Structure 1
Amino acid sequence: MQLPIKAILVFHVTARAGSISRAAEELGVTPSAVSQQIQLLESQFGVTLLTKAGRSIALTEAGERYFSMISDQIERIEEATATIRGFRSVTTLTIRATPTLSNKWLLPRLGRLLDRHPDLEVRLDGTNEPTDFNQEMVDLELRHGNGRWPGLFVEGLAEERFLPVCAPSYADPASLDAEDIPTHRLIHSVKSQAQWGRWFQLAEVTSESRWRRVLFDRSHMAIDAAVRGMGIALESTLMMQDELENGQLICPVRDPPDLRITTQWIVCPRDHLRQKKVRQFLEWLRDERDAWQALQRVNGA
Structure 2
Amino acid sequence: MPVPLRAITVFHAVARAGSITRAAEELGVTPSAVSQQIQTLEVGLGTALIGKVGRTIVLTEAGERYFEMIGGGIDQIMEATQRIQGFRTVTTLTVRATPSLSTKWLLPRLAGFIDAHPDIELRLDGTNEPTAFQKESVDLEIRHGTGGWPGLYAEGLVEESFRPVCAPALAASGSLAPDDLPRHRLIHSVKSQVQWAHWFKLAGVTPAARWRRLLFDRSHMAIDAAARGFGIALESDLMMGGDLQAGRLVCPVETPPRVTLVTQWVTCPPDHLRHRKVRVFLDWIRQERDAWAGERARIV
What TM-score do you get using the length of structure 1 for normalisation? 0.88
Report the equivalent of 1:196. Answer: 196
Instruction: Work out the CA distance in 1 between the residues paired with 2:70 and 2:229.
Output: 60
Instruction: Work out the CA distance in 2 between the residues paired with 1:139 and 1:291.
Output: 24
Q: Percent identity?
A: 60
Shift of 1:25: 3.2
Which residue, 48, 55, 58 being the options, matches 1:56? 58
User: Amino acid of the residue matched to residue 246 of structure 1?
Assistant: A
Shift of 1:205: 0.5
- In structure 2, do the counterparts of structure 1 residues 141 and 284 end up closer, same or farther at CA, with 3 Å as the change threshold? same
Shift of 1:155: 1.8
The answer to whether the 8 Å contact 2:188/2:222 transfers is yes
- In structure 2, do the counterparts of structure 1 residues 109 and 37 end up closer, same or farther at CA, with 3 Å as the change threshold? same
The answer to whether the 8 Å contact 1:104/1:220 transfers is yes
- Mapping for residues 1-301 of structure 1, pairs under 5 Å: 4-44=4-44, 46=45, 50=49, 52=51, 55-57=57-59, 59-80=63-84, 82-83=85-86, 88-208=88-208, 210-296=210-296, 298-299=297-298
The answer to whether the 8 Å contact 1:139/1:268 transfers is yes
SS for the counterpart of 1:234 is: strand
SS for the counterpart of 2:284 is: helix
Shift of 1:21: 4.2
User: Amino acid of the residue matched to residue 91 of structure 1?
Assistant: T
Structure 1 residue runs without a partner (length 5+)? none
- In structure 2, do the counterparts of structure 1 residues 233 and 268 end up closer, same or farther at CA, with 3 Å as the change threshold? same
User: Amino acid of the residue matched to residue 91 of structure 2?
Assistant: T
Provide the aligned length of Structure 1 versus Structure 2.
295
SS for the counterpart of 1:250 is: coil
1:31-84 superposed Cα distances (whole Å, 9 cap, x missing partner): 45334323434544x46594558533264445422332342123222443x54x
SS for the counterpart of 1:240 is: helix
1:143-162 superposed Cα distances (whole Å, 9 cap, x missing partner): 21222422222222111111
Instruction: Work out the CA distance in 1 between the residues paired with 2:280 and 2:46.
Output: 32
- In structure 2, do the counterparts of structure 1 residues 262 and 49 end up closer, same or farther at CA, with 3 Å as the change threshold? farther
The answer to whether the 8 Å contact 2:9/2:74 transfers is no
The answer to whether the 8 Å contact 2:182/2:208 transfers is no
What TM-score do you get using the length of structure 2 for normalisation? 0.88
The answer to whether the 8 Å contact 1:18/1:271 transfers is no
User: Amino acid of the residue matched to residue 75 of structure 1?
Assistant: E
SS for the counterpart of 1:89 is: coil
- In structure 2, do the counterparts of structure 1 residues 281 and 53 end up closer, same or farther at CA, with 3 Å as the change threshold? farther
When structure 1 is superposed on structure 2, of 218-227 and 2-11 the one drifting more is 2-11
Shift of 1:241: 0.8
1:140-180 superposed Cα distances (whole Å, 9 cap, x missing partner): 22121222422222222111111100111111111111111
- In structure 2, do the counterparts of structure 1 residues 242 and 211 end up closer, same or farther at CA, with 3 Å as the change threshold? same
Shift of 1:264: 1.3
Instruction: Work out the CA distance in 1 between the residues paired with 2:277 and 2:154.
Output: 18
When structure 1 is superposed on structure 2, of 218-227 and 59-68 the one drifting more is 59-68
Instruction: Work out the CA distance in 1 between the residues paired with 2:219 and 2:245.
Output: 18
User: Amino acid of the residue matched to residue 140 of structure 1?
Assistant: L
Instruction: Work out the CA distance in 1 between the residues paired with 2:273 and 2:31.
Output: 24
Shift of 1:18: 4.2
Structure 2 residue runs without a partner (length 5+)? none
- In structure 2, do the counterparts of structure 1 residues 53 and 117 end up closer, same or farther at CA, with 3 Å as the change threshold? farther
SS for the counterpart of 2:239 is: coil
User: Amino acid of the residue matched to residue 57 of structure 1?
Assistant: L
Instruction: Work out the CA distance in 1 between the residues paired with 2:66 and 2:261.
Output: 42
User: Amino acid of the residue matched to residue 298 of structure 2?
Assistant: N
Shift of 1:3: 7.5
